[in-house]
Amino acid sequence: MTDQWHPETAGIRAGSGHTEFGENSEAIFLTSSFVFENAAQAAARFSGKEPGNIYSRFTNPTVTAFQEKLAALEGTEFCVATSSGMAAILATVMGLCSAGDHIVASRSIFGTSVQLFSSILARWGLQTTFVSLTDPEAWRAAVQPNTKLFFVETPSNPLTEVCDIQVLADIAHKHGALLAVDNCFCTPALQKPLTLGADIIIHSATKYIDGQGRCLGGAVLGSKALLEPVYGFLRTAGPTLSAFNAWVFLKGLETLFVRMEAHTRNALELAQWLENQPGVARVYYPGLASHPQHALAMKQQKSGGAIVSFDVKGGQEAAWRLIDATRMISITANLGDAKSTITHPATTTHSRVTPEARAAAGISDGLIRIAVGLEHIEDLKRDLAMLARP
């Protein structure tokens, strides 16, 4: 049944069911443990002879419903939900790599992911080589005999660079490694990495899956055989998703497709407008013909997404002046919210990166990132009207 649904329908119907009460909106099972009819049933559940819930660190019906819905949307066999996006990345590495293994990661990934790989996992004997997202030769050259995992985000944050997922998957597979794609920016509404050759999809559900900035959560998706150790890590180490947050994400997924369509319609119009403002030096948005990987993005993604970055003329001073002149857009580093958000990466998300490394990564002092929300486009333009004045 699920296989025959259009994705929009699967977002609403997949993974949904009801209890004996016939509720149409899924119930939240806020319970840490589950009771058994008798001692024999408890033993059967624990031994795995009888399927069923035991304890919410292992399984919980609300979390299971969320996992089934997201797996249906990404077209994967299996999904394990986690307490945050970072927990999803950690669980992936802990489940699939061991001390002495090597990881190749894009240089343009979420700042905390860089910290996780370079500071924490390195202390446990996992070395990571960071390379340019858009240079396949650099990935090929970085491979070592012990390379286990390739890790990318596409489009990247904040410069919206796009890599060819199929090309990186082919390089990884040729060398016996796996490709994991953090699909947080696109969501399955815009991009389906497994159909492009990736092995693992990672989500911060905190962003567009929630869609209204309420809860933290994450997910890892792929084949059941591959993700069995990732699930094993979660049920033992414990960074599992709460039933309440899973319920919020279930509701979020019902509106994912219409929201992403509206987000990206606004983002494209804002990006086109920004390109014509005298206060703007350059706009970074995959949906614009001026984007260096525009053709690839349009082939790989359904649209350019909802993150628009741009360089203002006048460096940090002008960037801060613009941010402080906004009256509506939220000044925060979060994204994926109905509320548009504005960030100055050089002094916030990327402030721990050295100025030289920032410059090498193309993150200028005048760079601004907007995660375009669902407000009316004319109100967004009005909030940024300072850019219209030379």
Ligand X SMILES: *Cc1c(COP(=O)(O)O)cnc(C)c1O
The answer to the question of residue 188 lying near ligand X (CB under 6 A) is: no
DSSP for 220-276, please give it. EEE-HHHHHHHHHHHHHH--PPPHHHHHHHHHHHHTHHHHHHHHHHHHHHHHHHHHT
State the minimum distance, in angstroms, from the CB of residue 57 to ligand X: 19
The answer to the question of residue 156 lying near ligand X (CB under 6 A) is: no
Measure the CA–CA gap between 180 and 69, rounded to whole angstroms.
20
Measure the CA–CA gap between 27 and 25, rounded to whole angstroms.
7
State the minimum distance, in angstroms, from the CB of residue 387 to ligand X: 25
Measure the CA–CA gap between 205 and 213, rounded to whole angstroms.
10
The single residue among 11, 15, 61, 85 that binds ligand X, judged by CB under 6 A, is 85
Measure the CA–CA gap between 122 and 105, rounded to whole angstroms.
13
State the minimum distance, in angstroms, from the CB of residue 84 to ligand X: 3
Q: Which is nearer to ligand X, 94 or 280 (CB)?
A: 94
Query: Is the backbone peptide bond immediately before 155 cis, with ω within 30 degrees of 0?
Result: yes
State the minimum distance, in angstroms, from the CB of residue 217 to ligand X: 7
Q: Which is nearer to ligand X, 85 or 279 (CB)?
A: 85
Site of tokens 């390109």: 275
State the minimum distance, in angstroms, from the CB of residue 43 to ligand X: 37
The answer to the question of residue 108 lying near ligand X (CB under 6 A) is: no
Take residue 66 and report the two structure tokens written for it.
Answer: 């969320």
State the minimum distance, in angstroms, from the CB of residue 367 to ligand X: 17
Q: Is there a contact between 106 and 153 (Cβ–Cβ < 8 Å)? A: yes
Q: Could you tell me which residues come within 8 angstroms of residue 78 by beta carbon, excluding any fewer than 6 positions away?
A: 71, 221, 222, 223, 224, 226, 227, 231
Q: What is the DSSP letter of 171?
A: H
- Please identify, among the stretches 21-29, 63-71, 79-87, 366-374, the one whose residues bind ligand X according to the rule CB under 6 A: 79-87
Residues 199-218 that bind ligand X (CB under 6 A): 204, 206-207, 216, 218
Q: Which is nearer to ligand X, 204 or 242 (CB)?
A: 204
The single residue among 184, 260, 322, 387 that binds ligand X, judged by CB under 6 A, is 184
The single residue among 26, 74, 101, 153 that binds ligand X, judged by CB under 6 A, is 153
The answer to the question of residue 84 lying near ligand X (CB under 6 A) is: yes
State the minimum distance, in angstroms, from the CB of residue 146 to ligand X: 25
Q: Is there a contact between 253 and 69 (Cβ–Cβ < 8 Å)? A: yes
The answer to the question of residue 110 lying near ligand X (CB under 6 A) is: yes
Query: Three-class SS of residue 180?
Result: strand
The single residue among 70, 79, 81, 86 that binds ligand X, judged by CB under 6 A, is 86
Beta strands in the chain (DSSP E): 78-82, 102-106, 127-131, 147-153, 178-182, 200-204, 218-222, 280-284, 307-312, 330-331, 341-343, 367-371
Site of tokens 């009207």: 385
Q: 370 to each of 188, 343, 358, how far by Cα in Å?
A: 21, 6, 19
Q: Which is nearer to ligand X, 182 or 365 (CB)?
A: 182
State the minimum distance, in angstroms, from the CB of residue 65 to ligand X: 20
Q: Which is nearer to ligand X, 126 or 318 (CB)?
A: 126
Residues 31-50 that bind ligand X (CB under 6 A): none
Q: Which is nearer to ligand X, 26 or 153 (CB)?
A: 153
Interface ranges with ligand X (CB under 6 A): 84-86, 110, 113, 153, 157, 182, 184, 204, 206-207, 216, 218
